[in-house]
Chain A
Amino acid sequence: MSETIAVAARNVGKVFGAGAHTFTALGDVSIEIEKGEFFTLLGPSGCGKTTLLRCIAGFETPTTGTIELSGRDITHTPPNKRPVNTVFQSYALFPHLTVAENLGFGLKMLGKSRTEIDTSVARVLALVQMQAFADRLPQQLSGGQQQRVALARALAPEPQVLLLDEPLSALDLKLRKEMQGELKRLQIETGITFLFVTHDQEEALTMSNRIGVMSAGALLQVGTPHDIYERPVSRFVADFIGETNFLEATVEDGGVRLGSGDVLAVPPSGRTGTVTLAIRPEQIKIGQDGLSARVVATTYLGTDTHYTLALSDHSTLVARVQSNSGADLKPGDAVHVTIDAQSVQVLAT
């Protein structure tokens, strides 16, 4: 089993500062990332995802716990002795070196021969389609091009794991979408394990094989994008990934009773008493029967329209409906909604 694990963090904790001014960046995080996987650490800023990445890169030493690379303990190995490379958020390209020299830097430091370096540089230049820019300096490139060079530079030494620290955050939306596809393609082509850090849930959902959701120094849930989206284990995860309606309810025989008095036949969750229901906007259907509600507001989003609905107890729900579905509702209209009870997540309050 351990041969398939590329990198593992075992009970890793990191505390910054000393004395009275300490800050716990990582609590007690354990994670195993498999070889050839595109794994994303997702969380809001300050959740510890970058600290965990820096512990794996070697820029930070964990206060407690160990980091393993292919089963070998590298907790105290300096970054230049780890077969792991990083794509930095700021790109950190060497401004005094040409693109080709930037790409060859790691290999040169590893003591590779001139011909080996030239071959590898040509290979990664082709990989990111930057052959025409080999002799340019970084400052002569656009943001997207610099991004590609940073990526190629980290791939050139063929690391066991590639670490990516929010590399797309400086790009505009269109370029970011393009690079998402590009990153996924590169990961499949090279077969290198990617550990990607982001606060953008959409980025995480579209690219990853698995996602680890982090908050306040703790790993809350690890799973496939599908798992994380469909079966969030906590209110934080449900809230952070995609849009979610939260409703208070009480567990009863055969389902849960909403504040409006209606009963939903949700699958048994093992929870009792008061719970929070997480309901995705697309799981609410507006039709002829079901719970009675009133339209409070409508938001046109192009393909979809968001309807904000108030139930009889004034609790609100947002429903997402395809704009061309013909349901042209206005604020004040009385409607009936059905909720797909099977997809409702019953969470602790």
Chain B
Amino acid sequence: MSGGAHGRSKGLNGWLLSLPALVLLFVAASGPLLIVAVYSFLEKGDYSGVRWIFSGDAWFRVLFEKDIFDGTVSLADANLSIFWRSVKLSLATTFITFVLGLPTAWFIATRAAKARAIWLFLITIPFWTNLLIRTFAIMEVIRNQGLLNTALINLGVISEPIQILYTDTAVLIGMAYVYLPLMVLPLFAAIDRFDMRLIEAGYDLYASRWLILRRIILPIIKPGIVAGCILVFVPSLGAYVTPRVLGGGKNMMIGNFIELQFGQGQNWPLGAALSMVLLIVVMGALLLYTRVSSRDDPHG
């Protein structure tokens, strides 16, 4: 019938219309991911690239190593320490940006409309600047002859410069600086929606300032806190430029380790497997978040 034909042509039109999006989705997102997934199960090529032979070797080598002489298998300590450092630094970055970002976002959200726009603009300015340049700027501040050490020496606080550059601390400072806006903006959005009159209600109902923060403000702005933490934690975990420049190549994070496999290491399958592990960790974190937040939601 005409109705059926109409319905069919409508369905066909729908497919045709969404085709560009589907192509883009496959070419730009799923396709490359699929290639990485496939490569992680292949044998490594002689210099670089892959040989099209199935092998679980790369996945095995993510966690374990085989002694060249006696063939005994042990945990790959080097890999594990890189994983551990990445998670540790990312968690620390998330924590620092939260502690700095909460008062900042609160300050901005409680300004008058005009001042607020200016503060938000100032917060987003670093976004318009190249990451590499910003990282080198941090380097200029913390290196031994840099601003910080010179100032401290001139003030007589220290006599010898403190070695900050090329340490985990340097990486942490750099990442906290780079990702701070990603924490401030969602926190600002949440605090902006927060009804300040609830603070008076809490104060009236015998809550101290600390309890008002813990029992009223933090639970209500929680969606903003979680969004900020994810926006900071996820890119921190895969950070490449910051640990490379400020960590000096010794203090690698997963991102640098993956790059090493595709570059000097000439082990594409291992690089692909490591990328998949990173992806799985991030997905796991996101899944955990949705689980936790849906459990808190009484309608969930």
Chain B residues positioned under 8 Å from A132 (CB to CB): none
Chain B residues positioned under 8 Å from A84 (CB to CB): 204
Binds A, one of B99-107, B205-213, B263-271: B205-213
Residue on A nearest B199 in the bound complex, by CB? A92
B197 touches A80 (CB 8 A): no
B206 touches A92 (CB 8 A): no
Q: A96-B219, A98-B298 are in contact. Are A110 and B206 (CB under 8 A)?
A: yes
Q: Pull 17 A–B residue pairs with CB atoms less than 8 Å apart, ordered by A.
A: A59-B200, A59-B203, A80-B203, A80-B207, A88-B201, A92-B201, A95-B198, A95-B220, A96-B219, A98-B298, A105-B205, A105-B215, A106-B205, A109-B202, A109-B205, A109-B206, A137-B298
Chain B residues positioned under 8 Å from A85 (CB to CB): 204-205
Partner of B205, one of A58, A78, A96, A153: A153
Residue on B nearest A111 in the bound complex, by CB? B206
Most-contacted residue by chain A among B202, B204, B216, B298 (CB, 10 A): B204
B192 to chain A minimum Cβ distance, whole angstroms, is: 15
Main secondary structure of the interface of B (DSSP, over half): helix
User: Is B195's beta carbon under 8 Å from chain A?
Assistant: yes
User: Is A79's beta carbon under 8 Å from chain B?
Assistant: yes
Chain B residues positioned under 8 Å from A78 (CB to CB): 203
Q: A94-B216, A98-B298, A137-B298 are in contact. Are A106 and B206 (CB under 8 A)?
A: yes
- Tell me how many residues of B have a C-beta within 8 Å of chain A: 18
A79 touches B204 (CB 8 A): yes
- Give complex CA distance A58, B211 in Å: 18
Chain A residues positioned under 8 Å from B207 (CB to CB): 80, 105, 109
Partner of B200, one of A92, A95, A98: A92
Most-contacted residue by chain B among A81, A86, A92, A153 (CB, 10 A): A92
Chain B residues positioned under 8 Å from A96 (CB to CB): 219-220
| Known A58-B204, A92-B200, A109-B206; further 10 A-B contacts with Cβ < 8 A | A59-B204, A79-B204, A80-B206, A85-B205, A92-B195, A94-B202, A96-B219, A109-B205, A109-B208, A109-B211
Chain A residues positioned under 8 Å from B203 (CB to CB): 58-59, 78-80
- Give complex CA distance A94, B221 in Å: 12
- Interface code B84-102, partner A: CB below 8 Å = 1, 0 otherwise? 0000000000000000000
- Give complex CA distance A126, B202 in Å: 23
Partner of B201, one of A94, A98, A157: A94
Chain A residues positioned under 8 Å from B208 (CB to CB): 80, 109
- Tell me how many residues of A have a C-beta within 8 Å of chain B: 26
- Give complex CA distance A103, B80 in Å: 51
- Give complex CA distance A235, B200 in Å: 37
Q: A57-B204, A98-B298, A109-B206 are in contact. Are A92 and B198 (CB under 8 A)?
A: yes
Chain A residues positioned under 8 Å from B215 (CB to CB): 105
Residue on B nearest A95 in the bound complex, by CB? B220
- Give complex CA distance A86, B197 in Å: 12
User: Is A342's beta carbon under 8 Å from chain B?
Assistant: no
User: Is A349's beta carbon under 8 Å from chain B?
Assistant: no
- Interface code A73-85, partner B: CB below 8 Å = 1, 0 otherwise? 0000011110011
User: Is A90's beta carbon under 8 Å from chain B?
Assistant: yes
Residue on A nearest B194 in the bound complex, by CB? A95
Chain B residues positioned under 8 Å from A110 (CB to CB): 206
Chain A residues positioned under 8 Å from B298 (CB to CB): 98, 137
- Interface code A99-132, partner B: CB below 8 Å = 1, 0 otherwise? 0000001100110000000000000000000000
- Give complex CA distance A153, B206 in Å: 12
